[in-house]
Structure 1
Amino acid sequence: MPLLQFDTTLSLSADEKEALADRVTAIYTEEMATTAGHVAVTIREHEPAALHLGRAVEGPLCFLDAEIRQGRPFERKRAFALETMAYVGERFDVPDENMKVVFTEHPGESMMGVDRIGGEWDGDGDEGEDGE
């Protein structure tokens, strides 16, 4: 039940936001070996003065806070981060220096919806959710 939160200085149309959410959900499901139904994406736009990154160069900034279930290996997280940044960089012309991904990992039971409570990730694509 991940929550993928983008903070950016990009100014995106509704179609661009939908395309970003759809593509990142697809990348997440592929790289993290899961299904798409529980992936949540937020996109928050900010004025340029509201975001800062010390190494940034001229151009838009885009940060991703990926709130995920604990247990996935580093290699899966790194693959997701790299693929996501490659997409954002190519699609929205964001320089590599201006992107950052931060993972925050939670026990499965800390991730819930009205009809489900997350379980532990077991490595075979099963999110281990109860209540389905």
Structure 2
Amino acid sequence: MPLLQLSTTCSLTPTARESTTAFLIDAYATTMETSPDHVAVSIAELPPSAMAIGRGVDGPLVFLDAEIRGGRPFETKRAFAVDVMEHAVSELDVPRPNAKVVFTEHPGEHMMGLDRVGDAWRAE
């Protein structure tokens, strides 16, 4: 179960929040070649004083922490990260320097739901 945690200083409408959630699920499932039914998303809207970036510019910030199962190639992760950052720029009006993505990779067995425990990643 990947967990995509988006933190932002944007004030999102319910529609924008739902659209961003749907985008993250779809982009992850498509890029990572997996089913969307197990992708978890959380969005935290924080005050500007709660987020900062050293090389940022004035404007809203968007940081995505992508907790994923380890093993995917760099190119695949980079493609997903670029999609997320481009979405933040085009749909949320975030300046390019203010959009960041970080991946934390876990063994499959660290990813759990009540009904199952993940297994090792393998190319389909």
Q: CA RMSD in A?
A: 0.6
Deviation at 1:15, TM superposition (A): 1.3
Partner of 1:23: 23
Tell me the secondary structure at the aligned position of residue 100 of structure 1. Answer: strand
Partner of 1:65: 65
Verify: 1:88 aligned to 2:74, yes or no. no
Q: Distance in 1 between matches of 2:26 and 2:95?
A: 22
- The residue type equivalent to 2:45 in the other structure is E
Deviation at 1:43, TM superposition (A): 0.3
- The residue type equivalent to 2:108 in the other structure is G
Tell me the secondary structure at the aligned position of residue 37 of structure 1. Answer: helix
Partner of 1:122: 122
- The residue type equivalent to 1:121 in the other structure is W
Q: Distance in 2 between matches of 1:35 and 1:87?
A: 21
Tell me the secondary structure at the aligned position of residue 65 of structure 1. Answer: strand
Verify: 1:4 aligned to 2:12, yes or no. no
Q: Distance in 1 between matches of 2:6 and 2:83?
A: 15
Q: Distance in 1 between matches of 2:90 and 2:123?
A: 30
Q: Distance in 1 between matches of 2:96 and 2:77?
A: 18
**TM-score, normalising length from structure 1?**
0.92
Q: Distance in 1 between matches of 2:93 and 2:72?
A: 30
Q: Distance in 2 between matches of 1:43 and 1:59?
A: 18
Tell me the secondary structure at the aligned position of residue 7 of structure 2. Answer: strand
**TM-score, normalising length from structure 2?**
0.98
Instruction: Please identify which structure carries the higher helix content.
Output: 2
Q: Distance in 1 between matches of 2:76 and 2:64?
A: 16
Structure 2 spans left out of the alignment, 5+ residues: none
Structure 1 spans left out of the alignment, 5+ residues: 125-132
Q: Give the % identical residues.
A: 53
Tell me the secondary structure at the aligned position of residue 44 of structure 1. Answer: strand
Q: Residues 18-64 of structure 1: CA distance to partner in whole angstroms, max 9, x if unpaired?
A: 10010111110111110100000000011101100011111100000
Q: Distance in 1 between matches of 2:52 and 2:23?
A: 25
Q: Distance in 2 between matches of 1:83 and 1:12?
A: 19
